């Protein structure tokens, strides 16, 4: 068979129809002949996978859709591997959101101690996947959107020999949103995009070569929290929405303490409804409700990235990759989220140089945390894990760091083989 093999790890996710739709839309430029959908949960895989089969069939694509719980088999010979796993599922996410709150710290899926716990759970599984890809699909392009995407990218860049590219839907979302506001096409815009996954800033916006930053900042104020809007007005820079956790630390904490449900609890309900919907045998397209789930643009981001590689397009995409001097005030071997030329050889960052002082300190502080989180997640060292938490700007004391670490290790003990081994 001559077409491409695409493998999706964690295919039981309700996001999968997004991806399938992406491949359907781009069927002319991406001749996919084999889609291997893999998950460790056969029940969810069956529900989501059956919908995927119906969608592919309806689209008239001559591709085999295979459902499997055997990861090696799924990976073998793949041209593209897409990974979107959630170790411990939504119950673990809900714990990640609650535990920090018990210590007076913001609880969030990817930022702060919650993201750290998620990283510790996820790293061992990602390293296992890496071993499979190195063995069974050594030339595959691996597009990961498992969170925390920056930490996972850095782990795999440092500890695997795979062609890993880290992806997030935020940059695509920010670009599309700006295009709408500026009444142009996304490809008319060039964003000077600086930073890390979920810790990035757009310091300049050019439309067909003209600097429209002021206008872009002004148009972006609407709908932003007042703390972020204030920051934007003074600095003339558009921050990633996740920076709200830093620019309004006090406010977010107050709100979270008062909230009835965490985001994870809400998502659990959304998921249940979606899965029920997916089981309708007449459903043959991505349901509209999926958009509420939060993964908008993942399809666009992932499939257009794969196509840019496959077709040697030399398009610009914002992805997570090795710094390599792009931002000289960060280590050369760390991961950053940055504008890259994408071609058949992968992602090639464009030089950035000195970053503005008003973002440098937080950028360097969080990257230090991330490097320690990678080291802790790979090694299972409690010392490194403490250092990572302590290095995080949201953690207010060593007492809290210590308490949080014990609580995180205890609550996640079923998912932390690297730490078990050290006991």
The residues assigned a catalytic role are: 242
CA angle 347, 286, 83 (to 5 degrees): 35
Residue 284: DSSP 8-state: -
φ, ψ for residue 372 (rounded to 5)? -70, -35
Residue 66 or 188 having the CB closest to a copy of itself: 188
For a copy of itself, the closer CB: 181 or 360: 360
| Tokens of residue 320, six digits | 């997570």
Compute the least distance from the CB of residue 329 to a copy of itself, in Å: 8
Closest CB to a copy of itself among residues 50, 364: 364
Q: Are strands 64-68 and 80-83 parallel, antiparallel or unpaired?
A: unpaired
Minimum distance, C-beta of residue 356 to a copy of itself, in the bound complex (Å): 9
| Residues sharing a CB contact under 8 Å with residue 421, sequence separation 6 or more, in sequence order | 380
At residue 271's C-alpha, the angle toward residues 267 and 276, to 5°, is 155
Name the DSSP class of 356.
P
With vertex at residue 118, the alpha carbon angle to CA 43 and CA 133, rounded to the nearest 5 degrees, is: 65
Torsional sign, CA 375, 379, 384, 385: positive
Question: Minimum Å distance from CB 210 to a copy of itself?
Answer: 7
**Of 290, 268, 260, nearest in space to 277 by CA:** 290
Q: How far apart are CA 268 and CA 354, in angstroms?
A: 42
Between the CA of residue 171 and those of 167, 195, 247, what are the distances in Å?
9, 11, 19
Cα–Cα distance measured from residue 357 to residue 238, given in angstroms and rounded to the nearest whole number: 15
């995080």: which residue's tokens? 392
* Nearest-approach distance from CB 361 to a copy of itself, in angstroms: 3
Q: How far is the CB of 97 from a copy of itself (least distance, A)?
A: 20
On whether the CB atoms of residues 340 and 318 are closer than 8 A, the answer is yes
At closest approach, how far in Å is the CB of 365 from a copy of itself? 4
* In contact, 135 and 141? CB cutoff 8 Å: no
The token pair at 216 is 């872009």
Q: What are phi and psi of 82, to 5 degrees?
A: -115, 130
37/385 with CB nearer a copy of itself: 385
Residue 355 CB, nearest distance to a copy of itself (Å)?
10
Which secondary-structure segment (H or E) carries 410?
helix 398-411
Contacting residues toward a copy of itself, per CB under 8 A: 104, 188, 190, 206, 208-211, 226-228, 230-231, 234-235, 247-251, 309, 312, 314-316, 324-326, 328-329, 332, 341, 343-345, 348-354, 357-358, 360-362, 364-369, 371-372, 375, 383, 386-387, 390-391, 393, 396-400, 402
């Amino acid at each position: 068979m001559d077409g491409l093999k695409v493998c999706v790890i964690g295919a039981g996710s309700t996001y999968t129809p997004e991806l399938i739709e992406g491949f359907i839309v781009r069927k002319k430029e991406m001749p996919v002949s084999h889609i291997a959908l893999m998950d460790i949960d056969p029940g969810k895989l069956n529900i989501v996978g059956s919908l995927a089969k119906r969608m592919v069939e309806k689209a008239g694509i001559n591709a085999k859709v295979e459902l499997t719980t055997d990861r090696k088999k799924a990976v073998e010979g793949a041209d593209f591997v897409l990974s979107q796993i959630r170790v411990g599922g939504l119950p673990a996410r809900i714990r990640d959101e609650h535990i920090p709150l018990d210590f007076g710290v913001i609880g969030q899926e990817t930022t702060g101690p919650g993201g750290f716990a998620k990283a510790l759970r996820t790293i061992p599984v990602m390293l296992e996947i890496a071993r499979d890809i190195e063995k069974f699909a050594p030339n595959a392009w691996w597009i990961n959107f498992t969170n925390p995407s920056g930490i996972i990218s850095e782990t795999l860049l440092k500890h695997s020999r795979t062609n890993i590219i880290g992806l997030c839907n935020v940059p695509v979302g920010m670009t599309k949103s700006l295009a709408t506001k500026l009444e142009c096409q996304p490809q008319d815009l060039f964003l000077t995009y600086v930073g890390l996954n979920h810790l990035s800033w757009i310091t300049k916006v050019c439309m067909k070569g003209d600097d429209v930053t002021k206008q872009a900042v002004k148009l972006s104020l609407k709908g932003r929290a007042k703390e972020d809007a204030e920051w934007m007005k003074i600095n003339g820079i558009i921050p990633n929405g996740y920076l709200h956790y830093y620019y309004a630390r006090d406010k977010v904490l107050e709100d979270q303490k008062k909230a009835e449900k965490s985001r994870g609890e809400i998502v659990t309900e959304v998921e249940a409804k979606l899965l029920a919907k997916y089981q309708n045998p007449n459903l043959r397209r991505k349901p509209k409700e999926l958009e509420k789930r939060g993964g908008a643009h993942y399809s666009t981001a992932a499939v257009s990235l794969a196509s840019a590689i496959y077709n040697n397009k030399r398009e610009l995409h914002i992805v997570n990759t090795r710094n390599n001097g792009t931002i000289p005030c960060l280590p050369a071997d760390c991961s950053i989220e940055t504008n890259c030329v994408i071609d058949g050889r992968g992602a090639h960052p464009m030089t950035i140089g000195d970053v503005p002082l008003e973002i440098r300190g937080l950028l360097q502080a969080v990257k230090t945390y991330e490097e320690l989180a990678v080291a802790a997640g790979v090694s299972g060292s409690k010392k490194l894990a403490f250092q990572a938490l302590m290095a995080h700007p949201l953690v207010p004391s060593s007492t809290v760091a210590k308490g949080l670490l014990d609580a995180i290790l205890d609550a996640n003990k079923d998912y932390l083989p690297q730490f078990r081994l050290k006991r």
